[in-house]
Amino acid sequence: MGTGELDREAHVAAGTEVNGGTAAPRTLAEALRARGDEGLAALLRARPDLLVPVPGDLTQLATRAGTRASVVRALERLDRFALQTAEALAVAPDPAPYPVLLGLMAGDEGDADIEAALPRAVGILREQALVWGDDDRLRLVRTARELLAPSPQHPSPTGLGPTVAEATAGMSPTRLQEIIATAGLPTTHDPVSAVAALTDLFTDRERMGGLLDTAPMEALGILDRLVWGPPYGEVTPDPTPPVRWLRDRGLLLPATARTVVLPREAALHLRAGRAHRVPEPVAPAVTPAREYRPQVVDSTAAGQAYTALAAVEELGKEWNEGGPAVLRAGGMSVRDLKRTAVALDVTEQVAAFWLEVAYGAGLIAPDGEADERFAPTPAFDEWLGLPAAERWALLAGTWLAATRTPGLVGSQDTKGRTLAVLGPDLDRGVAPEVRRRVLTLLAGLPAGASPDPETLLARLRWERPLRGAARETGTDLRARLASWTLTEAELLGVTGRGALAAHGRALLPGAPAPGTDHPVDGHAPEHPHRGAVPAPAAAGPEAVGGRRPAHAAVADHAGAAALLAPLLPEPVDHVLLQADLTAVAPGPLQRPLADTLAVLADVESKGGATVYRFTPGSVRRALDSGQAAADLHAFLAAHSRTPVPQPLAYLIDDVARRHGHLRVGAASAYVRCDDDAVLGEILADKRSAGLRLRRLAPTVLAAQTDPATLLEGLRSMGFAPAAESAEGDVLITRADAYRTPARTAPAPVPEGPPEPDATLLGAAVRAIRAGDRAATVVRRDDSAAPDTAGDGAPPRTSAAETLATVQAAAMTGSAVWIGYVNADGAASQRVIAPVRVEGGFVTAYDHTADEVRTYPLHRITGVAELADDAG
């Protein structure tokens, strides 16, 4: 790829524009210029990357739209039919009139679906500036052509090979003569007209048919194998007769010494003109797998929504006394995740999901202390105070817009590190778009219908087909995101039994009404290229500016909350007490009631109802929290629908009877004396106030000061106390020999550093050699490069020059000397061998640092070629 060519595409015609008048545009820039503002806005909306930074003029916009990175990005966002159309244009003559394109897509026989869908596909390509020119002269932008056209290294998805002209490029004229002669064409000495004659023969259906009629059966079999690609076949130096037959007539042309290729024109003849084996003009429909009554769906989803709230609430409660520690690299350890999963009684994957949702909603966060732990945020308490439906709206809204993907937790990144929940690297930019798209597709089904997940995935694949490597390795992030979306939506209660619930639908503003999935007309809001884009864009600035306030998301989804609210179970204000010392709350309890009961009894089972069990331990806990037995009796009597069973009343009294019977406290020292009058005297003395004495028993005082101070204090008051050992003996004070705490003896300090080992030595030598190479090269360069100041200052070149030099170096694989300013503004010089120049970055082997690094081009102040290496 050369920048020169791109430039021509963009501006060469600028000079001829004047005399062109209203004639067809001759460059992309011209075509863009001819568009209205609407059209330009549509282009920028579809390809927002062109906006950063905002291009100075249309020429610049056209250039930017033609860069490889931007074109790849645009191609990756095409639906399958638009992509197939682009692929067909890439194998068509340039420019191609519309009928030719239609012929390639629909074949000789034609296809009504394709005829109907093609204008839309061309429209999309044109809108995105991938195709320009009017219908007589459709041109695919050069970069896209290069990306999509078949080459031996990158076989085209069409399975077509090179044209006759391309395949015969280096062939000897004699050989060409032989071929056209064998094919029954009039001989000509001019190779160009020979190629043209052969091309004409292959594209003429009738004459070609006649030629093939004479072919031996085996030869037709060989063609059959190659026709849908890959078009290359291996041949031995001494080919079999049928291969020889084909080769002699140019139906197989030599590609390399050992391979032959079926030329594009011949293949198209055999395919009846079709560029694609299976053109897919119509988006596959998402079909319902099962249909439920919408009420069933809504209530199931509401039940799950309630479970979601309970899970997050419980998570917060679980962490009330401080959550798990934050790993040094961020996130939570696997062990803590396991523990949380056990506490919530869910699988680790589900626990990870709740954690991420709560984290995304700002309900939990690291506390920022030195010994960092996770904990609920103040927003959590605020959230608890909201009505249930609004609490849900916050969770669902957060989930919908989140780029964090809990589904990735536990998998490994490219460096083999396990991705931790709440940790870094879980953000996937496409996640919100996929989620919204999946839900929108669900919204297109009739109310109450749950989709067949396979058809849903097929539809998503059609809308965003995979290109290149991802397709072969099967690491389809979008498909995984889509299936996670289905599970997560179910967990959150956005869907119920797989079908979108009414409150789930309300989360999607502008979602289609139920049952309106018309894949063919797929335009405007239905189209995947739009609708999805604003979401991340809108989230962008806020993400930078700080967390969205909790209430904003709630307000966004007030409609959803309003729909959900009546479906959520009404909190109940009573429990049923039973003689087996259990209490059943036949629904969610009102909060103060639930809190008190949770202290007074142990939760035995959760769900729609809650089962509590009273045990001596739980009753003791309630008493410890400051409630008296009478309070507990009154509480139970007030909230029980049924009489309080006698064994329960008895249990409370029995525990209360013994509660507080033993008292425990802390004292630092004590005074004891058989004569309680003396102790009374001490207490009455004002001077004893500082000793903080308290009478525990007639003959015992407890002090809050240490024994030494107490002895001192009592002596100063005129008493003669004796110290007592732990066993009660009188301590005799005697000066002890003073000792340090345990200490280790000093280690010997030999002179000089320890002897280095082999590894250290090897590394040191390598480093020295690398530094040396950098230094010597630079010195030689000083004299050679006139651009640079003679005193070894970094080179300075213009940006264009820099780019050209670096690209040239990448092609030849040679090293260059660059001046570089790092992110802190510090300038340095390095010797690098560029490997790849792409998207504004140079990836290069840095001789100075002895590793491969990537440098932004704009930070390179200048570049100079190195003098030939003398070594």
Say how far apart CA 104 and CA 595 lie, in whole Å.
71
Beta carbon of residue 571, minimum distance to another protein (angstroms, whole number): 13
Burial class (CB in 10 A: 0-12, 13-18, 19+), 256: exposed
Of 144 and 491, the one with the shorter C-beta distance to another protein is 491
Of 565 and 581, the one with the shorter C-beta distance to another protein is 581
Binding segment for another protein among 225-233, 368-376, 578-586, 791-799 (CB under 8 A)?
578-586
| Identity at 188, one-letter amino acid code | T
Binding of residue 578 to another protein (CB under 8 A): yes
Q: Which residue matches tokens 């095409």?
A: 78
Of 299 and 704, the one with the shorter C-beta distance to another protein is 299
Beta carbon of residue 650, minimum distance to another protein (angstroms, whole number): 4
Please pick, from the candidates 69, 72, 334, 609, the single residue that binds another protein as defined by CB under 8 A: 609
Binding of residue 793 to another protein (CB under 8 A): no
Two tokens at 501?
């619930």
Q: Is 78 helix (H, G, I), strand (E, B) or coil?
A: coil
Binding of residue 497 to another protein (CB under 8 A): yes
Whole-number Cα distances in Å, 379 to 375, 493, 551, 691: 11, 22, 10, 46
Bond preceding residue 281 cis, omega within 30 of 0: no
Q: Find the angle CA(489)-CA(492)-CA(497) to the nearest 5 degrees.
A: 60
Two tokens at 487?
């599970």
> Which residues, listed in sequence order, are joined to residue 234 by a DSSP beta bridge?
259
Beta carbon of residue 440, minimum distance to another protein (angstroms, whole number): 22
Two tokens at 91?
């194998």
- 108, 493 in Cβ contact below 8 A? no
Of 29 and 499, the one with the shorter C-beta distance to another protein is 499
Binding of residue 848 to another protein (CB under 8 A): no
Binding segment for another protein among 272-280, 294-302, 507-515, 666-674 (CB under 8 A)?
294-302
Of 606 and 715, the one with the shorter C-beta distance to another protein is 606
Of 182 and 605, the one with the shorter C-beta distance to another protein is 605
Of 295 and 854, the one with the shorter C-beta distance to another protein is 295
Least Cα distance to 266 among 219, 198, 202 occurs for 202
Binding of residue 302 to another protein (CB under 8 A): yes
Burial class (CB in 10 A: 0-12, 13-18, 19+), 801: middle
Binding of residue 488 to another protein (CB under 8 A): no
> Which residues, listed in sequence order, are joined to residue 612 by a DSSP beta bridge?
583, 603
Binding of residue 645 to another protein (CB under 8 A): yes
Binding segment for another protein among 108-116, 281-289, 646-654, 820-828 (CB under 8 A)?
646-654
Least Cα distance to 829 among 784, 789, 769 occurs for 789
Beta carbon of residue 504, minimum distance to another protein (angstroms, whole number): 14
Binding segment for another protein among 248-256, 473-481, 608-616, 763-771 (CB under 8 A)?
608-616
Of 101 and 655, the one with the shorter C-beta distance to another protein is 655
Of 412 and 605, the one with the shorter C-beta distance to another protein is 605
Beta carbon of residue 444, minimum distance to another protein (angstroms, whole number): 22
Mark 73-112 with x for binding to another protein (rule: CB under 8 A) and - for no binding. ----------------------------------------
Binding of residue 642 to another protein (CB under 8 A): yes
Please pick, from the candidates 177, 188, 307, 590, the single residue that binds another protein as defined by CB under 8 A: 307
Of 296 and 430, the one with the shorter C-beta distance to another protein is 296
Strands 576-578 and 449-451: unpaired
Beta carbon of residue 641, minimum distance to another protein (angstroms, whole number): 8
Binding of residue 725 to another protein (CB under 8 A): no
Q: Which residues of 173-197 are buried (b: 16+ CB within 10 A; e: fewer)?
A: eeebeebbeebebeebeebeebbeb
- Rounded to 10 degrees, the C-alpha dihedral 669/674/676/678 comes to -80
Beta carbon of residue 450, minimum distance to another protein (angstroms, whole number): 10
Say how far apart CA 448 and CA 296 lie, in whole Å.
8
Say how far apart CA 694 and CA 700 lie, in whole Å.
9
Binding of residue 304 to another protein (CB under 8 A): yes
Q: What is the CA radius of gyration of the chain?
A: 40
Binding of residue 349 to another protein (CB under 8 A): no
490 sits in the region (left: phi over 0; alpha: psi -120 to 50; else beta) called alpha
Bond preceding residue 230 cis, omega within 30 of 0: yes
List contacts with another protein (CB under 8 A): 296, 299-304, 306-307, 345, 490, 496-497, 569, 576, 578-582, 584, 586-587, 605-609, 611, 642, 645-647, 650, 654, 658
